[in-house]
Amino acid sequence: MFDKIKKEIINSIDSLLRYAVVITGNEEDAKDLVQETCYKALKSINSLDENSNVKAWLFTIMRNLWINQRKRNQISPVYLEETIENVGDEWNINPEELLINNEMRQLLLKALNDLPEAYKEILILRYFEDFSYNEISKILDCPLGTVMSRLNRAREKLKEVFLKIYEKNNDDRS
Amino acid sequence: MIDHKTIKIWINLYLDGELAGEELELFKQHIKECRECAQILKQQRDFVDSIRSLKDEIKIDFGDFKTELIKQIEEFKPKSSKALKYAVFAIVVVILTISALSALYFYSNRTDFVKIAIENHMRQIRGQLPLEIETSSEGEISNWFDGKLRFNFRLPRYPDPSNQPYRIKGARLVALNNDYAALVSYEMDGRPMTLLVAPSKSASPYGKRKVNFKDIDFYLDTKDGFNILSWTDKGLTYALVFDFENFDWKKPCIVCHSSGAK
């Protein structure tokens, strides 16, 4: 079982690195965090059984490590309950274009990177790593309802930020 | 009929694979019938897919780092957990403690009985332990002990005790482990000899030499100038203390086995 879990840890490295870059904001911190996560996971491998969700477990370890690191560095928490302009109904961007237009996709990536950390984090967990709401609630240690509402706000915020970047980009051109 | 507001909430749950059961069926039915909601669903699906597509846009070269990390993971050897180590340590300590206490109890129990037998013998010959019944009759002694002890003890009777080389002098009760043991006083070849009898659960035979005779282990020892022969038979432990000059371990057996023949 030990070798099987080791293999799953190795297979999760890319996902962990992607998530680590998002939550730390830079490559070096991301590497340190992933390395520490893997080491901690290997040391506590005995706490797992065969049916454990290793990937979700790794993400939980990494997030907790990051939270503790932030506490040590006295980085103040990010407050999320901000007002979000509801852009859903006035979203005049053709999403199909987002998919095929490389330039627009780069703007969307910029918008994603500009999002508050908690929104960025939940979008990554859901759409990059395909975690279910239940798994996300365990990783983030928050109720299922919070996952649903935060994810909803994160999508809306992404649209809002993207729209601003897109419009500014168009203004700069003209 | 489901209102559009609910359907808009359900769209995200549906796209995230979190809509199930009756709600899922109602949602599908509504989307079939409502062009407006179907259009919103399509737009939202494209938007979500465009977020998903960003996964491949994050291109950071972690090549060397990944190779080194994979190597470290593959080479990692599991150590037994601290909890397991503590548990094993605790079990070892408990086993050792129990063994030590058992050994101590067993050893002290064995030596104590022999030691008490010698002490009683010495006090008896010094006159500090007077006999409570003075008789040479095995029957009278057996009857005297009857009801006084928590165990059944009777001396063997022989047809003509006067022909035996020993003489019974009498008996008394002595204290042993908060209970009474039986002490019988003999004389053989003009030398005193005492027999101490106690239940085997509270007294064990002990001696440096062990001789097996008729499936019984006899322990022989010499202490403070006295010879001690001890053994256990049928739930009782016996200790015979004597000081014959020419020690023959079979000689005291005569007191129970009549001329040593039985």
ipTM: 0.84
Residue spans of alpha helices (H) in chain A: 2-11, 13-24, 27-43, 54-72, 95-100, 102-114, 117-123, 133-140, 144-173
B145 in the same domain as B245: yes
B117 in the same domain as B97: no
Instruction: Please indicate if any CB of chain A lies within 8 Å of the CB of B51.
Output: yes
Q: Which of A13, A27, A112 is facing B69, going by the closest CB pair?
A: A13
- How far A129 CA sits from the closest chain B CA (Å)? 9
Band the pLDDT of B248: cuts 50, 70, 90: low
Look at residue B142 and tell me whether its pLDDT is greater than 70: yes
Lowest mean pLDDT among A78-92, B84-98, B192-206: A78-92
pLDDT at A3: 83
B241 in the same domain as B152: yes
Q: Which of A6, A128, A148 is facing B73, going by the closest CB pair?
A: A6
Q: How many independent structural domains does chain B possess?
A: 2
B132 in the same domain as B102: no
Q: Which of B46, B65, B78 is facing A99, going by the closest CB pair?
A: B46
Instruction: Please indicate if any CB of chain A lies within 8 Å of the CB of B1.
Output: no
Instruction: Please indicate if any CB of chain A lies within 8 Å of the CB of B63.
Output: no
pLDDT at B261: 43
- Model confidence over A100-133: pLDDT tens digits? 788 888 899 999 989 998 899 999 999 999 999 9
Q: Is residue B262 part of a domain?
A: no
What is the percentage of chain B residues whose pLDDT exceeds 90? 20
Host domain of residue B168: 113-255
Quote the CA–CA distance of A133 and B15 in Å, as a whole number.
Answer: 12
Q: Which tops the pLDDT comparison, B60 or B195?
A: B195
Quote the CA–CA distance of B149 and B156 in Å, as a whole number.
Answer: 17
Report the residue of chain B nearest A152, measured CA to CA: B12
B127 in the same domain as B83: no
Of B78, B108, B138, which residue sits at a domain end?
A: B108
Quote the CA–CA distance of A52 and A46 in Å, as a whole number.
Answer: 11
- How far A96 CA sits from the closest chain B CA (Å)? 6
B241 in the same domain as B125: yes
Report the residue of chain B nearest A155, measured CA to CA: B48
Q: Is residue B260 part of a domain?
A: no
- Model confidence over A21-76: pLDDT tens digits? 888 888 888 999 999 999 999 888 887 777 788 999 999 999 999 988 887 776 55
B153 in the same domain as B167: yes
Angle between helices B4-15 and B21-33 (to 10 degrees): 110
pLDDT at B17: 92
B49–A99 CB contact, under 8 Å: yes
pLDDT at B28: 92
B82 in the same domain as B210: no
Report the residue of chain A nearest B79, measured CA to CA: A43
Of B60, B77, B108, which residue sits at a domain end?
A: B108
B93 in the same domain as B13: yes
Of B57, B83, B108, which residue sits at a domain end?
A: B108
Instruction: Please indicate if any CB of chain A lies within 8 Å of the CB of B77.
Output: no
pLDDT at B80: 61
